């Protein structure tokens, strides 16, 4: 007859032998099942991970893969590579570098798409569908279960564009040395542009302000403000939050606008001023 | 049939004993001051330290005009002593912070000083810049460990960046603007030491008892040794890394 001790020991022995038999995929799958209750909150809408299963299979799995690791069937054919959601690192955030994005940030990225990549705009999906997908994206990373999103950076109201502000923006561009990668004219040909790599060691290009393409994380003035203040995590683009004051940041936004070929007040003003590009060889300005 | 049950019983007993030992091992006497010291040497011809071409940034190349910068993957001194090796107690179970100092990781002449910064888990450190050129400080830990990568710019005259790391890990630190800049944050648990240019080290604040000391070098890997520290005396652990 089995004693209680013997049956108990059988259970322990069985679990000791059974654990290594599970594959990594099965363990990840199990992990994901436990996070199926993940929610997202976008405005008044609450997204539920469990409701996004079919949507993800239909629209996202081809590139981002069933485990959300960016290793979908299309992985070899797309560049930039699909995001690995398991790492919980995102380019487009309103939160400081090294912190998680807000649900709204992820929602905006899904709707906006990423220019110069294979990620299209998903605005055709309903707000509820996109909110559900945000929850689904979050459920892939254990970080969303343990950490809170960072506190979004403050963006003061946009001031009036003036010639002085555009000039001051050029000085900021020179002082924090944006040109090291982006080039003095914003043509993505700075001295360090050719050796840039992302966090996974893959070559990556600096943003070219002059070829008419849109910044990856949005093209409104607020978006551009946010991009250089938060940095794009996972890429060489750092956060300048400690180095540029909010008011100066608006000056820089206006100067960057003047570099862009799209018709703008800033561009006309800079032309009228006859504004010259920054001098790479000038002695470094101090903060 | 009976034998099978016995086997299962023995196996589960072994598992339970192991778990018990792990739990009991947590109790380490916190009081008492001891030390572990020694030397880390390199056996064989010291690897060549390649000269870095800093032509990309005139400020950097000018700073190294008379004293070219070298890759610091291996730094071997006159008597074969290895610098930048991190020594720590790999079976540390104490919880008291090993040190309350705030170590500094400086960007000087487009190199990291020190090349390897050893840190306790949760210890605050400062990243500073002494250069008149912009750097971006970009550590790249594995987010699965609990350490989250970040990336901040430090233009000339920028204030120090203060941070800490949550989990033990050897973290590569890079500057994307100057691709040769490459350093390490060696995050460990408990007391630690880094070897000087002659390969000497001393780990302070070690409680008496049996310890496992691990030596970590960025390219040569790790080695471990058992050391016994008696109250009031210093334990000794010397390491030798062989040329590959």
Tens-digit pLDDT profile for residues B227-239: 999 887 889 999 9
- Cβ contact (<8 Å) for A10 and B5? yes
Span A183-199, pLDDT tens digits: 999 999 999 999 999 99
Question: Average pLDDT over chain B, rounded to whole?
Answer: 88
Choice among A4-13, A24-33, A255-264, B33-42 with the minimum mean pLDDT: A24-33
In chain A, how many domains are there?
Answer: 2
Task: Give the global pTM.
Answer: 0.85
CATH number of the domain located at residue range(s) B30-242 in this protein? 2.60.40.420
Quick one: pLDDT at residue B16?
53
- Same domain for A136 and A168, yes or no, is no
- Cβ contact (<8 Å) for A243 and B144? no
Banded model confidence at residue B26, pLDDT cuts 50, 70, 90: very low
Quick one: pLDDT at residue B95?
73
- Same domain for A117 and A195, yes or no, is no
Quick one: pLDDT at residue A26?
66
Task: Tell me the β-bridge partners of B221.
Answer: B217
Which of 139-158 (A) contact B at CB < 8 A? 142-143
In a domain, A21, yes or no: no
In a domain, A97, yes or no: yes
What is d(CA B73, CA B78) in angstroms, rounded to the nearest whole number? 17
Each domain of chain B, given as residue ranges in start order, spans: 30-242
Is the pLDDT at A271 greater than 60, yes or no?
A: yes
Nearest CA distance, A111 vs chain B (angstrom): 26
Quick one: pLDDT at residue A81?
95
A109 touches chain B (CB under 8 A): no
Q: What is the ipTM of this complex?
A: 0.87
Banded model confidence at residue B196, pLDDT cuts 50, 70, 90: very high
In a domain, A24, yes or no: no
CATH of the domain at A219: 1.10.760.10
What is d(CA A80, CA B160) in angstroms, rounded to the nearest whole number? 33
A176 contacts on B by Cβ (under 8 Å): 134, 153, 155
Give the residue-averaged pLDDT of A22-27: 65
CATH of the domain at A60: 1.10.760
Question: Average pLDDT over chain A, rounded to whole?
Answer: 93
Give the residue-averaged pLDDT of A239-246: 97
B104 touches chain A (CB under 8 A): no
- Same domain for A97 and A168, yes or no, is no
Under the phi-then-psi rule, with left for phi > 0, alpha for psi from -120 to 50, and beta for the rest, what region is A218? Answer: left
- Taking each helix axis as running N to C, give the angle between helix A163-175 and helix A265-273, from 0 to 180 degrees, rounded to the nearest 10: 80
Span A251-265, pLDDT tens digits: 999 999 999 999 999
DSSP letter, residue B51: B
What is d(CA B236, CA B229) in angstroms, rounded to the nearest whole number? 8
Banded model confidence at residue B3, pLDDT cuts 50, 70, 90: low
Which of 166-195 (B) contact A at CB < 8 A? 176-179
Going from the C-alpha of A248 to that of each of A6, A91, A253, A269, the distances in angstroms are: 73, 23, 9, 18
More confident residue, B4 or B120: B120
Is the pLDDT at B13 greater than 60, yes or no?
A: no
Residue-number span of the structural domain to which A196 is assigned: 163-273
Q: Residue B212 in contact with residue B225, Cβ under 8 Å?
A: yes
Quick one: pLDDT at residue B107?
97
- Same domain for A112 and A41, yes or no, is yes
- Same domain for A127 and A72, yes or no, is yes
Is the pLDDT at B22 greater than 50, yes or no?
A: no
Domain's final residue, options A88, A115, A146: A146
More confident residue, A27 or A186: A186
CB pairs under 8 A between A and B: 123
Task: Provide the 10 A C-beta neighbour count for residue A88.
Answer: 23
Q: Residue B229 in contact with residue B34, Cβ under 8 Å?
A: yes
Tokens at B85, concatenated: 């090796």
- Same domain for A236 and A135, yes or no, is no
- Same domain for A194 and A262, yes or no, is yes
Q: Is the peptide bond prior to B100 cis by the omega test (within 30 degrees of 0)? A: no
In a domain, A63, yes or no: yes
Span A89-138, pLDDT tens digits: 999 999 999 999 999 999 999 999 999 999 999 999 999 999 999 999 99
Nearest CA distance, A131 vs chain B (angstrom): 25
In this complex, the residue of A87, A175, A231 whose CB is nearest that of residue B155 is A175
Tell me what percent of the residues of chain A surpass a pLDDT of 70.
95
Is the pLDDT at B19 greater than 50, yes or no?
A: no
Tokens at B109, concatenated: 């002449």
In this complex, the residue of B149, B154, B176 whose CB is nearest that of residue A233 is B149
Domain's final residue, options A103, A121, A146: A146
Banded model confidence at residue B10, pLDDT cuts 50, 70, 90: low
In a domain, A5, yes or no: no
Quick one: pLDDT at residue A280?
87
Quick one: pLDDT at residue B28?
41
- Same domain for A253 and A173, yes or no, is yes
Is the pLDDT at B109 greater than 80, yes or no?
A: yes
- Same domain for A109 and A180, yes or no, is no
């Amino acid at each position: 007859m089995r004693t209680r001790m013997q049956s108990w020991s059988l259970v322990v022995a069985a679990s000791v032998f059974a654990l290594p038999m599970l594959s990594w995929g099965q363990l990840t799958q199990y992990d994901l099942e436990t996070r199926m209750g993940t929610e997202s909150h976008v405005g008044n809408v609450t997204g539920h991970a469990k409701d996004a299963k079919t949507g993800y299979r239909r629209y996202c799995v081809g590139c981002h893969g069933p485990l959300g690791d960016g290793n979908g069937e299309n992985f070899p054919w797309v560049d930039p590579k699909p995001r690995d959601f398991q790492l919980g690192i995102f380019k487009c955030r309103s939160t400081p570098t090294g912190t998680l994005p807000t649900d709204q940030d992820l929602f905006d990225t899904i709707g906006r798409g990423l220019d110069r990549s294979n990620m299209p705009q998903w605005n055709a999906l309903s707000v509820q569908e996109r909110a559900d997908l945000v929850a689904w994206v979050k459920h892939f990373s254990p970080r969303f279960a343990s950490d809170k999103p960072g506190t979004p950076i403050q963006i003061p109201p946009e001031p009036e564009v003036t010639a002085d502000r555009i000039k001051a923006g050029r000085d900021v561009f020179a002082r924090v040395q944006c040109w090291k990668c982006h080039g003095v004219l914003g043509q993505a040909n700075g001295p360090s542009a050719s050796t840039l790599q992302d966090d996974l060691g893959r070559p990556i290009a600096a943003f070219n302000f002059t070829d008419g393409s849109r910044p990856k994380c949005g093209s409104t003035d607020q978006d551009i403000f946010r991009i250089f203040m938060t940095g794009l995590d996972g890429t060489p683009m750092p956060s300048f939050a400690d180095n540029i004051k909010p008011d100066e940041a608006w000056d820089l936004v206006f100067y960057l606008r003047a570099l862009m070929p799209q018709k703008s007040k800033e561009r006309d003003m800079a032309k009228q001023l006859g504004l010259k590009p920054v001098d790479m060889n000038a002695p470094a300005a101090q903060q | 049939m009976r034998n099978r049950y016995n086997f299962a019983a023995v196996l589960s007993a072994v598992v339970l004993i192991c778990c018990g030992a792990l739990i009991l091992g947590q109790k380490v006497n916190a009081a008492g001051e001891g030390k572990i010291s020694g030397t880390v040497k390199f056996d064989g011809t010291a690897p060549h330290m390649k000269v870095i071409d800093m032509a990309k940034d005139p400020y950097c190349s000018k700073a190294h005009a008379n004293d070219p910068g070298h890759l610091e993957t291996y730094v071997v001194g006159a008597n074969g002593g290895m610098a930048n090796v991190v020594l720590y107690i790999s079976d540390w179970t104490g919880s008291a912070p090993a040190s309350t100092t705030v170590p500094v990781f400086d960007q000087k002449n487009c190199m990291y000083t020190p090349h390897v910064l050893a840190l306790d888990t949760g210890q605050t450190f400062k990243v500073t810049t002494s250069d008149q050129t912009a750097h971006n400080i970009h550590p790249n830990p594995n987010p699965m460990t609990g350490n989250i990568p970040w990336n901040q710019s430090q233009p000339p005259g920028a204030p120090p960046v203060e941070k800490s790391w949550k989990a033990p890990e050897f973290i590569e630190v890079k500057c994307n603007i100057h691709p040769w800049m490459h350093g390490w944050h060696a995050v460990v648990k408990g007391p630690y030491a880094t070897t000087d240019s002659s390969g000497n080290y001393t780990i302070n604040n070690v409680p008496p008892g049996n310890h496992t000391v691990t030596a970590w070098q960025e390219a040569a890997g790790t080695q471990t040794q058992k050391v016994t520290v008696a109250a009031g005396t210093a334990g000794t652990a010397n390491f030798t890394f062989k040329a590959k």
